[in-house]
C-alpha cells in the first residue's frame, strides 16, 4: 500500500488549496471528499447564496427601472429556472475543482474518512462509504490509506437547537435544493445566514419574518450598522421579531404549513422555518479518539499556532478549528500551513483587520473595529459618518439609504474601522481594507482624491467628526 506524504480530509476551501499547493511542491498528496468538490462555499455556501442574492434583487431592479423610463408590465418569477441555472453553475465549478486537483497530481478519493490508528511515523485512515459507480475517483468501501501527515479540513455543518419538532425545520443547505418556494417563511436566528436568507426569500416574493432571541441581530457588528440595517431590512418588507424565540414546531393537520410556538406565547403559521442558528464542526465521523486528537470546549479541533493538533502528525484547518468561518480565512490558513509541511519559510495568518461582507440587502461591508470595540481598545476615537440617498435612487421610488462610518484613533490618526451599508458595500470595503491593513491614517484618506460620482468617494470626503 502506498504511503502518501499528505492525506487531506475534506475537499473544501481549505483542503483543495492545501492539497494542490502541496502537490505542486512534489509531495504525494491524496484528498478524501465525502460529498462535493469545493465544499460548503462552492456547493451550499458563498457561491450559490450570492447567486440567489442577485436573483432576488432583480425584483427591485425591475421596480427601479420605471424611474428611468423602462416599462416592465408583465413580470414573472420562476424558482425552478433560478435553481436549475444555479445547479448548472455549481456543476461547472465542481468540474473546475476536479481539474485543478487532478492537474496538480492530487489523488482524489471519494468517501467518508475516519481515523484508524497511528504510529510515530504514519497515520492510518479508512474510507467508510462506497464509491459511486460513475465516479472517476479512487477509493471505495473499506479502503485504507496510510499517510505521513494528515490534515483535517472537514468544515462545519448547520446546527439546529433541540426543540420539539426541530426535524421540521430547514437548514441553509436545504435552501439550495427546494423544489418550490413557500408563501411564507420564518427565518430563525440573527447572524449572517439569517439576514442574508431573509433578504433572499423576501426578494423572491416569500412573506418573511425573522425571529431572533436577542435585542438586535448581527451581534458583534457596529451598533449603528446594526440599527441601520434593521431599518433598511424593514423597508424591504421583512418582519423583524426580536426578543423572541421558537419553542416548538408542529405540522399543521393535512397541510404544508407549520405551526410555530413562539416564546412570547404566540402561535404563528409558516410555510417553512429556516434554522439559521449557527454551525458546528464536522468531527463526529472522524473517530478522533483513535488518534487522540483533542477538541476544545466548543467541539472544534484544537490546534497550535502552526495548525498542529494534539497529535504530532495531524493538522487542522478552516471552519473545523473555529475562528472566523470565512472562505478567505480558510485559504489563508492553508497557505500558512504549507511551509510547515514542505520546509518553506514561515507565513503567519494575521487575524486582525479581516474584512467581511454580509450579503443582506443592502449589503454590509466592514473591516476593523466597531465603534464599541474601538473605544474599548484605543480610548479616544473620532467618528466620521454619513448617511445619504444613493444617487441612483434620486430617480426611483426606492427609499433605500446608504450609511458609511470611519473610526479613527485620535492618538495616532490611524483609521481602525470602516463600515458601510449600501449597494456593493463588500466591493467597496475590500479596497478600503488594503489601506487600513497598511496602516492608513485619516490624513491619508483626506489626501486621497475621490472618484466622482460614486458612493465610495464619501469615504475620502468625510471631514467633520460627529463627536
Ligand atoms: C450559507 C452559507 C453562506 C456562506 N457565505 C459565505 C460568504 O459569502 N463568504 C465567506 O467568506 N464565507 C461564507 N460562508 C462560510 C464558508 O463557506 C466557510 O467558511 C468555508 O467553506 C470553510 O471552508 P473549509 O474548507 O473549512 O470547509 P468546507 O468548505 O465546509 O469543506 C469541508 C469538506 O469536508 C468534507 N468532509 C467533512 N467530513 C468529511 C469526512 N469525514 N471525510 C471526507 N470528507 C469530509 C465536506 O463534505 C466538505 O466538502 C458561508 C457558509 C454558509 C453555510
Ligand atoms: N457573508 C459571509 O461571509 C457569510 C455568510 C454566511 C455564513 N458565513 C459564516 O458562517 C457562519 C455561520 O453562520 P450562521 O448565521 O449560521 O451563524 P452565526 O453564528 O453568525 O449566527 C447564529 C445565530 O443563531 C442564534 N442562535 C444560536 N443558538 C440559538 C438557539 N439555541 N436558539 C435561538 N437562536 C440561536 C445566534 O444568536 C445567532 O444569531 C458565520 O459565523 C459566518 O462566519 C459567512
**Same-domain check for residues 16 and 114:** yes
Res 139: pLDDT:
53
156 assigned ligand-binding residue: yes
Position 179 in a domain: yes
pLDDT tens readout for residues 53-71: 999 999 999 999 999 999 9
Express each pLDDT in 110-158 by its tens digit. 999 999 999 999 999 999 875 544 444 555 567 899 999 999 999 999 9
259 and 297 within one domain? no
Is 191 close to ligand 2, i.e. is its CB under 6 Å away? Answer: yes
- Check: CB of residue 321 under 8 Å from CB of residue 351: no
The backbone torsions φ and ψ at residue 266, rounded to the nearest 5 degrees and listed phi first, read: -70, 150
Rounded to the nearest integer, the mean pLDDT of the chain is 96
How far apart (Å, rounded) are the C-alpha atoms in residues 194 and 173?
13
With a cut of 90, say whether residue 343 has pLDDT above it: no
pLDDT of res. 236: 97
Q: Residues 127, 230: one domain?
A: no
Q: Residue 172 belongs to what domain range?
A: 158-278
The answer on 102 and 31 residing in a single domain is: yes
**Mean pLDDT in residue range 227-235:** 98
| pLDDT for residue 227 | 98
Q: Are residues 306 and 360 both part of a single domain? A: no
Which residue, 296, 320, 342, sits at the end of a domain?
Answer: 342
| ipTM, interface predicted TM-score of the complex | 0.98
The CB of 44 under 6 Å from ligand 2? The reply is no
Question: Is residue 310 within 6 Å of ligand 1 at its C-beta?
Answer: no
Q: Is residue 452 among the annotated active site residues? A: yes
- The last residue of a domain, from among 256, 278, 300: 278
Tell me if 77 is assigned to some domain: no
Residue 66 exposure: Cα atoms within 13 Å on the Cβ side: 11
Q: Which entry of 136, 340, 393, 452 is annotated as an active-site residue?
A: 452
CA distance 355 to 418: 9
Determine if ligand 2 sits within 6 Å of the CB of residue 278. Answer: yes
CATH number at residue 311: 3.50.50.60
Confidence of residue 253 (pLDDT cuts 50, 70, 90): confident
Give the contacts of 406 (CB within 8 A, at least 6 positions apart): 383, 384, 385, 415, 417, 418, 442, 445, 459, 462
Q: Are residues 24 and 146 in the same domain?
A: yes
Residue 73 has pLDDT above 90, yes or no: no
Q: Which atom number of ligand 1 is nearest to the Cα of residue 13?
A: 25
**Do both 178 and 299 map to the same domain?**
no
Q: Is 198 in the pocket of ligand 1 (CB under 6 A)?
A: no
Exposure pattern of 423-456 as b/e (b: 16+ CB <10 Å)? bbbbebbeebbebbeeebebeebeeeeeeeeebb
Mean pLDDT over 283-305 rounds to: 97
Instruction: Calculate the CA 282 to chain-centre distance.
Output: 16
Residues 200 and 253 in one domain: yes
CB 380 within 8 A of CB 333: no
Atom 35 of ligand 1, nearest CA residue: 10
The CA-based diameter of the chain, rounded to the nearest angstrom, is 73
Q: Does 369 lie in the same domain as 226? A: no
2-39 tens-digit pLDDT: 899 999 999 999 999 999 999 999 999 999 999 999 99
**Is 51 part of any domain?**
no
In a domain, 187, yes or no: yes
- Establish if 66 belongs to a structural domain: no
149 in the same domain as 261: no
| Alpha carbon of 278 to ligand 2 centroid (Å) | 4
What pLDDT, on a 0 to 100 scale, did the predictor assign at position 136?
Answer: 46
Residue closest via CA to ligand 1's atom 10 equals 326
Domain boundary among 278, 309, 329: 278
Q: pTM of this prediction? A: 0.96
Q: Does 359 lie in the same domain as 260?
A: no
Task: Report the number of distinct structural domains present in the chain.
Answer: 3
If asked whether residues 164 and 271 sit together in one domain, one would say yes
Can you give the CATH number for the domain in which 389 is found? 3.30.390.30
CA distance 199 to 177: 18
With respect to residue 178, please indicate whether it lies within any of the assigned structural domains.
Answer: yes
Query: Ligand 2, closest atom to CA 324?
Result: 43
Amino acid at each position: 500500500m502506498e504511503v502518501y506524504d499528505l492525506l487531506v480530509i475534506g475537499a473544501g476551501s481549505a483542503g483543495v488549496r492545501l492539497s494542490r499547493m502541496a502537490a505542486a511542491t512534489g509531495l504525494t498528496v491524496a484528498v478524501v471528499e465525502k460529498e462535493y468538490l469545493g465544499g460548503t462555499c462552492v456547493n451550499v455556501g458563498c457561491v450559490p447564496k450570492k447567486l440567489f442574492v442577485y436573483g432576488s434583487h432583480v425584483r427591485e431592479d425591475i421596480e427601479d427601472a420605471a424611474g428611468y423610463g423602462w416599462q416592465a408590465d408583465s413580470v414573472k418569477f420562476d424558482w425552478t429556472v433560478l435553481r436549475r441555472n444555479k445547479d448548472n453553475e455549481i456543476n461547472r465549478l465542481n468540474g473546475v475543482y476536479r481539474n485543478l486537483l487532478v492537474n496538480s497530481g492530487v489523488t482524489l478519493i471519494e468517501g467518508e474518512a475516519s481515523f484508524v490508528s497511528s504510529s510515530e511515523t504514519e497515520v492510518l485512515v479508512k474510507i467508510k462509504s462506497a464509491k459511486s459507480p460513475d465516479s472517476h475517483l479512487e477509493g471505495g468501501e473499506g479502503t485504507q490509506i496510510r499517510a505521513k501527515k494528515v490534515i483535517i479540513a472537514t468544515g462545519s455543518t448547520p446546527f439546529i437547537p433541540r426543540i420539539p419538532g426541530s426535524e421540521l425545520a430547514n437548514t441553509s443547505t436545504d435552501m439550495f435544493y427546494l423544489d418550490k418556494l413557500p408563501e411564507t417563511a420564518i427565518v430563525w436566528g440573527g447572524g449572517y445566514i439569517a439576514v442574508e436568507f431573509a433578504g433572499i426569500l423576501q426578494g423572491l416574493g416569500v412573506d418573511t419574518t425573522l425571529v431572533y432571541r436577542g435585542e438586535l441581530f448581527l451581534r458583534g457588528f457596529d451598533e449603528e450598522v446594526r440599527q441601520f440595517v434593521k431599518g433598511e431590512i424593514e423597508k424591504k418588507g421583512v418582519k423583524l421579531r426580536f426578543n423572541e424565540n421558537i419553542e416548538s414546531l408542529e405540522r399543521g393537520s393535512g397541510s404544508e404549513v407549520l405551526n410555530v410556538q413562539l416564546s412570547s406565547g404566540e402561535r404563528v403559521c409558516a410555510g417553512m422555518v429556516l434554522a439559521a442558528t449557527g454551525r458546528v464542526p464536522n468531527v463526529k465521523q472522524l473517530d478522533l479518539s483513535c488518534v487522540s486528537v483533542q477538541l476544545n470546549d466548543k467541539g472544534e479541533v484544537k490546534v497550535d499556532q502552526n495548525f498542529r493538533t494534539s497529535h504530532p502528525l495531524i493538522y487542522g484547518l478552516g471552519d473545523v478549528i473555529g475562528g472566523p468561518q470565512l472562505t478567505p480565512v480558510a485559504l489563508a490558513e492553508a497557505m500558512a500551513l504549507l511551509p510547515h509541511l514542505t520546509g518553506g519559510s514561515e507565513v503567519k495568518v494575521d487575524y486582525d483587520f479581516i474584512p467581511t461582507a454580509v450579503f443582506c440587502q443592502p449589503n454590509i461591508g466592514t473591516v476593523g473595529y466597531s465603534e464599541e470595540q474601538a473605544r474599548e481598545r484605543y480610548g479616544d476615537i473620532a467618528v466620521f459618518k454619513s448617511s445619504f440617498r444613493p444617487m441612483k435612487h434620486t430617480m426611483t421610488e426606492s427609499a433605500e439609504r446608504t450609511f458609511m462610518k470611519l473610526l479613527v484613533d485620535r492618538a495616532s490618526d490611524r483609521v481602525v474601522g470602516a463600515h458601510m451599508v449600501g449597494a456593493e458595500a463588500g466591493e467597496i470595503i475590500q479596497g478600503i481594507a488594503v489601506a487600513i491593513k497598511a496602516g492608513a491614517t485619516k490624513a491619508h484618506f483626506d489626501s486621497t482624491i475621490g472618484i466622482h460620482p460614486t458612493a465610495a468617494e464619501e469615504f475620502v470626503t468625510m471631514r467633520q467628526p460627529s463627536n
